[in-house]
Protein backbone atom coordinates (compact mmCIF):
# COMPACT_ATOMS: atom_id res chain seq x y z
CA UNK A 1 0.00 0.00 0.00
CA UNK A 2 2.75 2.44 0.86
CA UNK A 3 4.24 2.40 -2.63
CA UNK A 4 1.09 2.43 -4.77
CA UNK A 5 -1.21 5.28 -5.81
CA UNK A 6 -4.23 6.40 -3.79
CA UNK A 7 -7.57 6.41 -5.60
CA UNK A 8 -10.03 9.11 -4.58
CA UNK A 9 -13.46 8.93 -6.24
CA UNK A 10 -14.92 12.43 -6.37
CA UNK A 11 -18.40 13.66 -7.24
CA UNK A 12 -17.61 17.36 -6.68
CA UNK A 13 -19.69 17.48 -3.49
CA UNK A 14 -18.47 19.11 -0.29
CA UNK A 15 -18.08 15.69 1.33
CA UNK A 16 -15.95 14.29 -1.49
CA UNK A 17 -13.79 17.41 -1.39
CA UNK A 18 -13.30 16.78 2.32
CA UNK A 19 -12.26 13.18 1.55
CA UNK A 20 -9.82 14.51 -1.05
CA UNK A 21 -8.07 16.42 1.73
CA UNK A 22 -7.43 13.12 3.50
CA UNK A 23 -6.19 11.59 0.26
CA UNK A 24 -3.72 14.44 -0.20
CA UNK A 25 -2.45 14.00 3.38
CA UNK A 26 -2.01 10.25 2.90
CA UNK A 27 -0.30 10.68 -0.46
CA UNK A 28 2.08 13.27 1.00
CA UNK A 29 2.82 11.03 3.98
CA UNK A 30 3.61 7.98 1.87
CA UNK A 31 5.08 9.82 -1.13
CA UNK A 32 2.64 8.36 -3.64
CA UNK A 33 0.51 9.77 -6.45
CA UNK A 34 -3.23 10.45 -6.30
CA UNK A 35 -5.73 9.23 -8.85
CA UNK A 36 -8.97 11.21 -8.97
CA UNK A 37 -11.96 9.42 -10.46
CA UNK A 38 -15.35 10.79 -11.42
CA UNK A 39 -18.04 8.44 -12.65
CA UNK A 40 -20.66 9.90 -14.96
CA UNK A 41 -24.06 8.26 -15.11
CA UNK A 42 -27.16 9.16 -17.04
CA UNK A 43 -30.18 10.20 -14.99
CA UNK A 44 -32.95 7.66 -14.62
CA UNK A 45 -35.31 8.46 -17.45
CA UNK A 46 -38.08 6.82 -19.35
CA UNK A 47 -41.80 6.92 -19.93
CA UNK A 48 -42.52 6.27 -16.24
CA UNK A 49 -40.81 9.51 -15.28
CA UNK A 50 -42.22 11.59 -18.13
CA UNK A 51 -38.71 12.37 -19.37
CA UNK A 52 -37.41 11.26 -22.74
CA UNK A 53 -33.89 11.88 -23.99
CA UNK A 54 -33.42 12.45 -27.70
CA UNK A 55 -29.68 11.91 -27.53
CA UNK A 56 -28.44 10.05 -24.43
CA UNK A 57 -24.96 9.65 -25.95
CA UNK A 58 -24.70 13.41 -26.47
CA UNK A 59 -25.86 14.08 -22.92
CA UNK A 60 -23.30 11.62 -21.55
CA UNK A 61 -20.59 13.38 -23.58
CA UNK A 62 -21.72 16.74 -22.16
CA UNK A 63 -21.54 15.35 -18.62
CA UNK A 64 -18.03 14.01 -19.29
CA UNK A 65 -16.90 17.40 -20.64
CA UNK A 66 -18.23 19.18 -17.55
CA UNK A 67 -16.57 16.61 -15.27
CA UNK A 68 -13.22 17.01 -17.04
CA UNK A 69 -13.41 20.80 -16.66
CA UNK A 70 -14.16 20.49 -12.95
CA UNK A 71 -11.31 17.98 -12.55
CA UNK A 72 -8.83 20.45 -14.07
CA UNK A 73 -9.75 23.05 -11.45
CA UNK A 74 -9.39 20.53 -8.63
CA UNK A 75 -6.04 19.27 -9.94
CA UNK A 76 -4.67 22.82 -9.91
CA UNK A 77 -5.60 23.16 -6.23
CA UNK A 78 -4.32 19.71 -5.24
CA UNK A 79 -0.95 20.13 -6.96
CA UNK A 80 -0.27 23.16 -4.77
CA UNK A 81 -0.77 21.00 -1.67
CA UNK A 82 1.27 18.01 -2.85
CA UNK A 83 5.05 17.70 -2.48
CA UNK A 84 7.06 18.24 -5.66
CA UNK A 85 7.49 15.13 -7.75
CA UNK A 86 4.11 13.60 -6.90
CA UNK A 87 1.47 13.46 -9.60
CA UNK A 88 -2.29 13.89 -9.67
CA UNK A 89 -3.92 11.72 -12.34
CA UNK A 90 -7.55 12.13 -13.37
CA UNK A 91 -10.05 9.94 -15.10
CA UNK A 92 -13.71 10.29 -15.98
CA UNK A 93 -15.52 7.01 -16.55
CA UNK A 94 -19.13 6.26 -17.35
CA UNK A 95 -21.34 3.48 -16.07
CA UNK A 96 -22.33 2.11 -12.70
CA UNK A 97 -20.55 3.99 -9.94
CA UNK A 98 -19.58 1.00 -7.80
CA UNK A 99 -18.41 -1.09 -10.75
CA UNK A 100 -16.34 1.75 -12.21
CA UNK A 101 -14.61 2.52 -8.89
CA UNK A 102 -13.71 -1.14 -8.35
CA UNK A 103 -12.54 -1.55 -11.96
CA UNK A 104 -10.35 1.54 -11.75
CA UNK A 105 -8.84 0.34 -8.48
CA UNK A 106 -8.04 -3.06 -10.00
CA UNK A 107 -6.77 -1.71 -13.34
CA UNK A 108 -4.45 0.81 -11.67
CA UNK A 109 -3.47 -1.57 -8.84
CA UNK A 110 -3.98 1.18 -6.26
CA UNK A 111 -2.76 0.80 -2.71
CA UNK A 112 -5.72 2.51 -1.06
CA UNK A 113 -9.09 4.07 -1.82
CA UNK A 114 -10.16 7.22 0.03
CA UNK A 115 -13.89 7.76 -0.44
CA UNK A 116 -16.54 10.03 1.05
CA UNK A 117 -19.48 8.63 2.95
CA UNK A 118 -22.96 9.87 2.14
CA UNK A 119 -23.58 10.37 5.83
CA UNK A 120 -27.12 8.98 5.71
CA UNK A 121 -28.68 7.34 8.75
CA UNK A 122 -31.84 5.49 9.65
CA UNK A 123 -34.41 4.88 6.95
CA UNK A 124 -32.52 6.99 4.39
CA UNK A 125 -29.49 4.73 4.85
CA UNK A 126 -31.60 1.60 4.38
CA UNK A 127 -33.31 2.88 1.22
CA UNK A 128 -30.28 4.37 -0.53
CA UNK A 129 -27.44 2.34 -1.98
CA UNK A 130 -24.32 3.31 -0.05
CA UNK A 131 -21.45 3.31 -2.52
CA UNK A 132 -18.76 3.89 0.12
CA UNK A 133 -19.95 0.93 2.16
CA UNK A 134 -20.05 -1.30 -0.92
CA UNK A 135 -16.57 -0.19 -1.98
CA UNK A 136 -15.24 -0.93 1.51
CA UNK A 137 -16.77 -4.41 1.41
CA UNK A 138 -15.71 -5.31 -2.14
CA UNK A 139 -12.37 -3.59 -2.80
CA UNK A 140 -9.20 -5.67 -2.80
CA UNK A 141 -7.19 -2.88 -1.12
CA UNK A 142 -7.66 -0.89 2.09
CA UNK A 143 -10.45 1.69 2.03
CA UNK A 144 -10.68 4.85 4.12
CA UNK A 145 -14.28 6.11 4.37
CA UNK A 146 -14.44 9.78 5.33
CA UNK A 147 -17.52 11.44 6.86
Domains of the chain: 6-146 (3.40.50.620)
> CA 85: distance to chain centroid?
23
Q: Could you give the maximum distance between any two Cα atoms of the chain, in Å? A: 52
The residue with greater pLDDT, 60 or 31, is 31
For residue 125, what pLDDT is reported? 42
Q: What is the percentage of the chain residues whose pLDDT exceeds 70?
A: 81
pTM: 0.85
**pLDDT tens per residue, range 75-134:** 999 999 999 999 999 999 998 999 999 999 999 999 999 999 875 444 444 444 689 999
SS (H, E, C) 65-104: HHHHHHHHHHHHHHHHHCCCCCCEEEEEEECCHHHHHHHH
* Contact assessment for residue 64 and residue 38, using Cβ atoms and an 8 Å cutoff: no
Amino acid sequence: MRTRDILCPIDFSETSTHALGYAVEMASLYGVNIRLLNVVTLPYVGPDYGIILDNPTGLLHDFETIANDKMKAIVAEVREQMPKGLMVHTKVRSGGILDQILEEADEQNVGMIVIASQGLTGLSHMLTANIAESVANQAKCPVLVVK
